[in-house]
Amino acid sequence: MLSILLKNGNVIDPSSRFEGKADLLIKNGVIAEIGESLDATADKVIDCEGLCVIPGICDMHVHLRDPGQTHKEDIITGCEAAAAGGVTALACMPNTVPPVDNAETVRYIKEKAKNAKARVYPVGCITKGLKGEELCDYQELRAAGCVAVSDDGRPVKSAVMMAQAMEKAHYAGLKVISHCEDLEIIDGGIINEGKISKQLGVKGMSRLSEDTITARELAIAQDLQMPIHIAHVSTKGSANIIKSNVFVGVMCTCETAPHYLMLTDEMLLSRDADYRMNPPLREEEDVLAMRAAVANGTIDCIVTDHAPHSAEEKADFEKAPNGVVGLETSLAASLTALVHTNTISLAQLVRMMCVNPRTILGIEGGSLAKGELADIAIFDPDEEWTVQPEKLHSKSKNTCFKGMTLKGRVKYTLLGGEIVYTDGE
């Protein structure tokens, strides 16, 4: 394995509270030395002048579509996209075909991921077959390699079953990730319920669907004194519910995605299904509320909910499946929405994208200290680029940032001390 010397980078490592100009020497897949003007030799030297050097991003909410839907994405291509976005670790959601509800499927994912350009951490199902009828064997899933459980893509309809899941998963060492949605309230809605849905003449998805289940999960967590993680928060109401519950000691963490920080449902006026996802794009007041929730610490993580779909599937606005790809745009979009608007500092963003997700899932990495894994993202915080779907590494090109100019570009990604992505190559 080649040794690598990263010279003159702006190193940002919240876990060790270090931020400043420094060199990093990488040997045998780990950080051998860190310091200013290191007197060291290496097989390869990368001049990081003007660039930021951070721990590799951990995206704890990704759909790799593998097994079963590999025409949309697979583990290898999904991790190619991850590497291009500075993501070195990801948690893959279980709504595959078949669902990740048994050890055999978990082992398939882990085996295929051995040759991938990111570390892949499987999330198992809360209920068998995602049907909401019977809990999975959490001890089996944990032993096979799962780090969390979720029925993401569907809610757990029964509060009793969710309570049982939270308790049993906790003692099995698994985080419970809740997809907060009341399907009876949704009742076939496809975009946010409001002025735009009425203008388009399509059925809307009420915020109440997300807010009521968020409140339910937090009530269960408070009663059981068990932790819960709330996925893809998109509404002002849910952000306020989480903030008030955390204030009184409820063990809750949560995430949002860049599109909820930048885009509103007015994008749907184009009748382009690439702007349809679940939860849907909301209104300006929700975007502002989500930015405020990031700034005040209510939101713990920025994730993508990377959800690839083919162009054919996305062609019909009203019948298309929900979801957008996001691994390659997450850092740039977050920099554009949050750092370049002075909403939060760069160090705060790094904590939300690199450190907190790993802490929540209990996985390794997230630090640039001596002896740590050399999983590293190097980026130019000021380089502007226009998102061109055809240039994305994902099999699917359904990005909601297409045609947008973002500020911040990944230049190199290192995984275990090896360069797995170089901009322009």
Cα-Cα-Cα-Cα dihedral sign, residues 287, 291, 297, 302:
positive
Q: What letter does residue 330 receive in the DSSP assignment?
A: H
What SS3 state is found at 187? coil
Question: Comparing C-alpha atoms, which of 273, 265, 267 is closest to residue 317?
Answer: 273
- Among the listed residues 66, 211, 265, 305, the single catalytic one is 305
SS3 assignment for 3-35: CEEEEEEEEEEHHHCEEEEEEEEEECCEEEEEE
The Cα 347–Cα 18 span in angstroms is 9
- With vertex at residue 152, the alpha carbon angle to CA 148 and CA 158, rounded to the nearest 5 degrees, is 95
Give residue 326's Cα distance to chain centre: 9
The encoded tokens of residue 41 equal: 């030799």
Q: Which helix (H) or strand (E) holds 37?
A: none
Q: What are phi and psi of 179, to 5 degrees?
A: -90, 105
Burial category of 49 from C-beta neighbours within 10 Å (exposed 0-12, middle 13-18, buried 19 and up)? exposed
Would residue 305 show up in a list of annotated catalytic residues for this protein?
Answer: yes
Q: Cα–Cα distances in Å, from 213 out to 159, 181, 185, 220, 319?
A: 9, 6, 11, 10, 25
φ, ψ for residue 215 (rounded to 5)?
Answer: -65, -40
- Mapping DSSP to helix (H, G, I), strand (E, B) and coil, where does residue 420 land? strand
Task: Find, among 46, 17, 77, 50, the residue nearest to 379 by Cα.
Answer: 50
The structure tokens 């929900």 sit at 322
Residue 205 neighbours by CB under 8 Å, 6+ apart? 186, 189, 190, 191, 192, 193, 278, 279, 280
The 3-state secondary structure of 249-308, one letter per residue: CCCEEEEECHHHHHCCHHHHHHCCHHHCCCCCCCCHHHHHHHHHHHHCCCCCEECCCECC
Q: What residues are annotated to the active site?
A: 305
